[in-house]
């Protein structure tokens, strides 16, 4: 059995007709029956922010539909203290490896928290964000796949 955690950029494609959705659905169809696909509460937070931040009524309706879909069909993983060490280690390692400044580093906190959650759950993070490729180079126990390529 494999466990997968979906990043927000992947989860936002589900239940929609956006570009990339057909490739993503093919990956889902090829999963084994005992594989688990989950989302983090962070994904729902980000989606809710997108809903409140959008001024386009059509986009708001699409985001609402997506949030409902995600809550209905996926297990939502809450934040827990078991991610703390992973988060601290990844953040320090990423900062040291990239030389990124403190202000820019803060922009990556949610991504690093998602990676930490995947590590704590012994799951593979599914994302289309380049930061996760770098994190997987830094931390050999963090696994990431891009199901859109």
- pLDDT tens per residue, range 10-38: 999 886 666 667 888 889 999 999 999 99
Cβ count within 10 A of residue 14 = 19
pLDDT of residue 22: 81
Rounded to two decimals, the pTM is 0.93
Nearest CA to 15 out of 4, 2, 28 is that of 28
Q: Does residue 147 register a pLDDT over 90?
A: yes
Q: Which helix (H) or strand (E) holds 80?
A: none
Q: Does residue 86 register a pLDDT over 90?
A: yes
CATH code: domain of residue 67 = 3.40.50.1010
Per residue in 44-70, pLDDT (tens digit) is: 999 999 999 999 999 999 999 999 999
Number of domains in the chain: 1
Range of the domain at 7: 3-145
Question: Rounded to the nearest 5°, which phi and psi values hold at 3?
Answer: -115, 140
Give the whole-angstrom CA distance, residue 44 versus residue 5: 13
Per residue in 96-139, pLDDT (tens digit) is: 999 998 888 889 999 999 999 999 999 999 999 999 999 999 99
């Amino acid at each position: 059995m494999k466990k997968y955690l979906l990043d927000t950029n992947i989860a936002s494609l589900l239940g929609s007709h956006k570009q990339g959705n057909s490739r993503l659905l093919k990956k889902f169809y090829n999963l084994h029956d005992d594989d688990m696909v989950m989302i983090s509460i962070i994904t729902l937070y980000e989606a809710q922010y997108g809903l409140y931040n959008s001024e386009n009524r059509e986009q708001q309706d699409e985001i609402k539909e997506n949030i409902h879909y995600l809550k209905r069909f996926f297990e939502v993983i809450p934040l827990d203290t078991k991610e703390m060490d992973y988060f601290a280690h990844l953040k320090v390692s990423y900062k040291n490896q990239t030389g990124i400044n403190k202000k820019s580093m803060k922009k990556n906190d949610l991504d690093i928290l998602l990676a930490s959650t995947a590590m704590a759950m012994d799951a593979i993070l599914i994302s289309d964000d380049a930061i996760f490729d770098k994190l997987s180079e830094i931390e050999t126990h963090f696994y990431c796949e891009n199901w859109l390529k």
